[in-house]
Structure 1
């Protein structure tokens, strides 16, 4: 995190027809329960192979069926219209605290590292008797490494260092990242977008993806969205889903801590998408306000589920296990 990003892979596609084994006369809920667990295990398998289409088909085959995946795409949502800032306040939402995240933890660590570097340079100068020319060469070398990181890895190396230190020494930061990503995961599933993986630290993302250009975050089966984008037209339904997903992390933080620190990149990406779709400022504001209100109300309604999901994600559970956690925690009355 720091910022969570949606990263994409191309996979081989096929459609699999789900076939349920024949059981004798036993409790129907047990039959469906076993079948659901088997399907979710298969979802994990095909996601590991990179076959997003097959994974989505498996989920859709069980979507909305009794004892199956009742919650996928089942979120109750508010009517879409232009909401004013006053209406958001009436629902307990202070937009400025939500939509202007500043990561105080990473900022503090970065400033301390910069101070330590300066003090270290001064100490080295005094202890080792470095000449001004040697100090200049050392400074230029560090500047070159920083520029290389920005140009080649989009700041990935710096993010890796800061994020690793923050996770190691700040339990608050560590917990905030988990809750942030749980918000993305839960909202995506409830609005009908299948999560396909997640990482909770830059180091974990590096180990899984082998690239500094990929930061921590939650990834989604989003080929349908990309096909619409590439076709030059994004449907209102699709835009609504991804607007809520983009804001889910900052909303989770806001609901838990009263303000958001992470997720600025999520907001910027949503802003870029709306500009790319040629939205006027008024239309963009309307989209964002509706998405904020909708996401807040969904996450408030499913607070206990988000907490359970965060526990599963903090333990490194699979996507299928996380989905089952959501399905087991949300009651029929909440759908």
Structure 2
């Protein structure tokens, strides 16, 4: 499947080299964490800085190994993979409603903000064309050629770039002129990031705007969103044996963005592609409709409860993500916000 990106998607030797760069061996890290709180917290930040370096180099295995070595340790990374989860069984729609979840609103995102912007641009284009016709006294033939030119470029974008140019334009206008849209996207991505981290999946990067994604990836076909260290997921898929644990994790991560929007705004606007990816994955695994519904309902309820429990962490995470902070700094924010009693 390639690198999984949710938003609107790469050991031992690498681990040893990473610790050598820090000037600390594995045993030394463990002993440091059992000393003073200040020293442990300082070491945690040093390790997270090293995680950022490994991710920038593209060495995802080394980055994940660094994180896992501090997983669950006092003053280490207590929250990584520490989410409290509900038992997996078939949950009815009534049970979800009792928990304040309307699946119709949560699982049917409609991007009203960008839709409105697109309609306004179309109206502006028509009015501009009419004004140009009058001002420049264009002939019907010239107007036809102009219209055909616009249609050609629109078709070229749709076929060659999968709508990337128009999507980039709409997203840029949305972030520039609509604070509501800008905030929704940030909160959406913070939901993906936090849920993944608490479930034991390491985020490896994120982008908030399509322009950021274009600068980072150099492609119009890459959406803004949160990407994860998913080589274990990919390896299981390639072997044709996706474990229930891995499926559960990525089901919840896929739905975390729309769940966040639902909790904050009462409905979701972004995240249709996230739901589509999950649907495609379940179908590829041969799930019947009943089994797929069961998986989605459990994931929805599990994800919503995780996000409700850690609302403060999600809020602070969104703040630092809006500033473009590194993955390591985002993890530091999560660890400093969530209390021991909450995990």
Q: TM-score range by the shorter chain?
A: over 0.9
Deviations 1:179-206 (A, max 9, x none): 0000000000000000000011111111
Aligned to 1:56: 64
**C-alpha separation in 2, matches of 1:289 and 1:98:** 11
With the length of structure 2 as denominator, give the TM-score of the two structures. Answer: 0.92
With the length of structure 1 as denominator, give the TM-score of the two structures. Answer: 0.94
Matched, 1:141 2:140: no
Aligned to 1:309: 317
- The counterpart of 2:98, out of the listed 87, 90, 106, is 90
Matched, 1:251 2:251: no
Asked if structure 2 preserves the Cα contact closer than 8 Å seen for 1:250 and 1:262, the reply is: yes
- The counterpart of 2:54, out of the listed 19, 33, 46, is 46
- The counterpart of 1:152, out of the listed 160, 173, 196, is 160
Asked if structure 2 preserves the Cα contact closer than 8 Å seen for 1:6 and 1:219, the reply is: no
- The counterpart of 1:28, out of the listed 27, 36, 42, is 36
Aligned positions of 1:110-125 closer than 5 A: 110-125=118-133
Deviations 1:39-68 (A, max 9, x none): 000000010011111110110111111110
Matched, 1:288 2:296: yes
Aligned to 1:73: 81
Asked if structure 2 preserves the Cα contact closer than 8 Å seen for 1:5 and 1:217, the reply is: yes
**C-alpha separation in 2, matches of 1:136 and 1:234:** 54
1:13 to 1:262, Cα distance in 2 relative to 1, 3 A: farther
Query: Which runs of no fewer than 5 residues in structure 1 stay unpaired?
Result: none
Query: Which runs of no fewer than 5 residues in structure 2 stay unpaired?
Result: 20-24
The structure 1 segments of at least 4 consecutive aligned residues displaced by more than 6 Å after TM superposition are: none
- The counterpart of 1:100, out of the listed 104, 108, 111, is 108
Aligned positions of 1:190-229 closer than 5 A: 190-229=198-237
The structural deviation recorded for 1:30 is 2.1
Aligned to 1:16: 15
Deviations 1:134-172 (A, max 9, x none): 222212211111122122222111111101111111111
**C-alpha separation in 2, matches of 1:294 and 1:182:** 17
The structural deviation recorded for 1:5 is 4.3
Aligned to 2:342: 334
**C-alpha separation in 1, matches of 2:156 and 2:235:** 33
Matched, 1:238 2:237: no
RMSD between aligned alpha carbons? 2.0
Aligned to 2:22: none
The count of aligned residue pairs is: 330
Matched, 1:37 2:33: no
1:205 to 1:219, Cα distance in 2 relative to 1, 3 A: same
**C-alpha separation in 1, matches of 2:12 and 2:141:** 59
The structural deviation recorded for 1:15 is 2.8
**C-alpha separation in 1, matches of 2:6 and 2:245:** 23
**C-alpha separation in 2, matches of 1:209 and 1:98:** 30
**C-alpha separation in 2, matches of 1:5 and 1:164:** 16
Matched, 1:171 2:170: no
Asked if structure 1 preserves the Cα contact closer than 8 Å seen for 2:186 and 2:321, the reply is: yes
The structural deviation recorded for 1:6 is 8.9
Aligned to 1:271: 279
The structural deviation recorded for 1:14 is 5.0
Deviations 1:52-87 (A, max 9, x none): 111101101111111100100010000000001000
**C-alpha separation in 1, matches of 2:92 and 2:310:** 25
Asked if structure 2 preserves the Cα contact closer than 8 Å seen for 1:253 and 1:261, the reply is: yes
